[in-house]
Amino acid sequence: MMKTATALRHLLFEDVGAFAAPLAEAGYDLRYHEVGVDSWPPAASDLLIVLGGPIGVYEEEIYPFLGAEKTLLAARLAAQRPTLGICLGAQLMAAALGARVYPGGRKEIGWAPVALTAAGADSALAPLAHLPLLHWHGDSFDLPPAAVLLASTPLYRQQAFAIGRHALACQFHPEADGQGFERWLIGHAAELAAAKIPVAQLRADALRCGNAAGAAGRACLARWLAQLDSHA
């Protein structure tokens, strides 16, 4: 029997990207739940993936569905159910675990490596070491209680954390492989213009870094899914 994976998606072009292949190889039937559009709550699944989006965890008055996501995540994490968060998803996981999420004061957008902690180098993130990966955020969070810090950058110390073997959160985008990257550039055009970030450079960097980042991202997720199986 196939395992089920549900991805909570906030933007159509921010999907699981390079993670699709290792999910299929590990026997997961992937389904998307369009947050704010599809009826809530999503169907129960073996693995929950919470994807990114250009809104803040603290904007619940504007986007009420954020409260429902945090409630779902709090219950799931308390039950130690497999959960993966990317960018906004990582921030929602942090908030669900009681940590503060807040504007970071500076945009971190572009392709750059993360510095793995000792725990990170010994984790599923090991294949990502030293490689330029996609960053696209302006918010940050405090490390949740009982979480283990896995990665940092010079701008933002909290870049990835784990809770036991069942929960992994990455503020950067380990799923990004440069495929369909033009959709990101178009969809976030206003943000890029406001931050005065050159689109041509982002496009060139995606072409230069995407293949290696995607291969490392696939290896990273495969390792984490195998860890889930060994923990089951």
Per-residue pLDDT 10s for the chain (232 aa) are 789 999 999 999 999 999 999 999 999 999 999 999 999 999 999 999 999 999 999 999 999 999 999 999 999 999 999 999 999 999 999 999 999 999 998 999 999 999 999 999 999 999 999 999 999 999 999 999 999 999 999 999 999 999 999 999 999 999 999 999 999 999 999 999 999 999 999 999 999 999 999 999 999 999 999 998 776 5
Reported as type and span, the H/E element at residue 223 is helix 199-231
- Report the residue count for the chain: 232
Distances (CA, A) of 92 to 84, 103, 113, 231: 11, 14, 23, 24
- Per-residue pLDDT at 231: 64
Greatest distance between any 2 Cα atoms in the chain:
50
Distances (CA, A) of 77 to 32, 98, 125, 131: 20, 12, 20, 30
> Cβ contacts of residue 186 below 8 Å, gap of 6+?
none
Structure tokens that stand for 92 in this block: 């929602």
Prediction pTM value:
0.96
CATH number of the domain at 164, please.
Answer: 3.40.50.880
Calpha distance 139→102 (Å, rounded): 6
> Cβ contacts of residue 161 below 8 Å, gap of 6+?
90, 94, 143, 144, 147, 148, 149, 150, 168, 169
Q: What are phi and psi of 165, to 5 degrees?
A: -100, -10
- Per-residue pLDDT at 232: 59
- Per-residue pLDDT at 230: 73
Calpha distance 98→83 (Å, rounded): 16
Calpha distance 169→85 (Å, rounded): 5
Distances (CA, A) of 34 to 39, 48, 52, 73, 127: 9, 13, 12, 16, 30
Range of the domain at 69: 3-231
Structure tokens that stand for 162 in this block: 């784990």
- Per-residue pLDDT at 90: 98
Calpha distance 189→202 (Å, rounded): 12
Calpha distance 206→186 (Å, rounded): 14
Total domains in the chain come to 1
Question: Where are the strands (E) in the chain, listed by range?
Answer: 3-9, 28-34, 47-50, 83-86, 101-112, 115-116, 133-141, 148-152, 160-163, 167-170
Distances (CA, A) of 215 to 5, 208, 209, 220: 21, 13, 10, 9
